[in-house]
Amino acid sequence: MKAVILVGGRGTRLVEETKSKPKPMVKIGEKPILWHIMKIFSHYNSNEFVLCCGYKYEIIKEYFENISEKWSVEVVDTGLDTMTGGRIKRIEKHINNEKFFLLYGDDLKAVNITELLNFHIKNKKFVTVTAAQPPGRFGILKLEEDNVVEMREKPPGDENWINGGYYILEPEIFNYISKDSDIWENRPLNKLIEEKQVSAFKYTGIYQPLDTLNDKIDLEKMWNDGKPYWKVWE
């Protein structure tokens, strides 16, 4: 079963790094964040990847021509300005009318891929989306009058669930995308929700998107300290 990874955006909020490279090629330790994501999937014996490239795609292409991992990697130029839905539509012929994983190339989650797949098969929907709870921005103080009696560091956000960005999709979803300007999370996904074709797999673990330079610093610290929550492989 193939994993389709969206790696075509410009990453403008991380301009310190993305002037010279696509955001998925920003390094955590000595390897690009994209490599870390693919290692998670490889741990669950998912070793076939389709990379939907755009911005500076030749850098990604060259990198995967020279890796030692035993992965099957198809690097597809899906256009510089193509939106997420359009990128998915452009790789339809690479999927061979089979279900596939879809995810973003800048987001580390230690999702149990086997459990995610079993959940998808059980629910028999066109779409399974991973639901996650974002980390809180601030630590929490519990007060009694003027006294601090408890302090908790950055609990999960506000207990709402958000789109966690890891999907399993059936090939029927291609019928919901019509053009390059389609954004997957807008009209196509909302139409599927209206038709009750979307189920949610709840992920309660830690995750950290790579959006800003501070995010990169945090992820690098976890890796260098030997405590990367996403490292499920040996």
pLDDT at 157 over 70: no
Average pLDDT on 135-160 reads 63
Answer for the pair 114, 43: CB distance below 8 angstroms, yes or no: no
Neighbouring CB atoms inside 10 A of 132's CB total 25
Each residue's pLDDT tens digit, 87-114: 999 999 999 999 999 999 999 999 999 9
Q: Which residue has the tokens 């964040």?
A: 33
Q: Which domains does the chain have, with CATH numbers?
A: 3-133+160-224 (3.90.550.10)
Q: What is the pLDDT of residue 133?
A: 80
pLDDT above 60: residue 161: yes
Q: Which of 105, 130, 103 is nearest to 115 (CA)?
A: 130
- Longest distance between any two alpha carbons in the chain, whole Å: 64
Q: 75 pairs with which residues across the strands?
A: 51
Report d(CA 20, CA 78) in Å as an integer.
Answer: 19
Per-residue pLDDT reduced to its tens digit, 64-85: 999 999 999 999 999 999 999 9
The pLDDT tens digits for 210-233 are 999 999 999 999 999 999 999 999
For residue 158, the model assigns a pLDDT of 57
pLDDT of residue 206: 87
Binning pLDDT at 50, 70 and 90, where does residue 139 land? low
State the pLDDT at residue 207: 82
H helices of the chain, in order, are 15-18, 33-43, 57-64, 84-90, 113-123, 187-194, 213-224
The string of pLDDT tens digits covering residues 39-59 is 999 999 999 999 999 999 999
Round to whole Å and give the CA distance between 231 and 175: 36
Q: Which amino acid is at 123?
A: N
Tracing tokens 């995810």 back to the chain, one arrives at 103
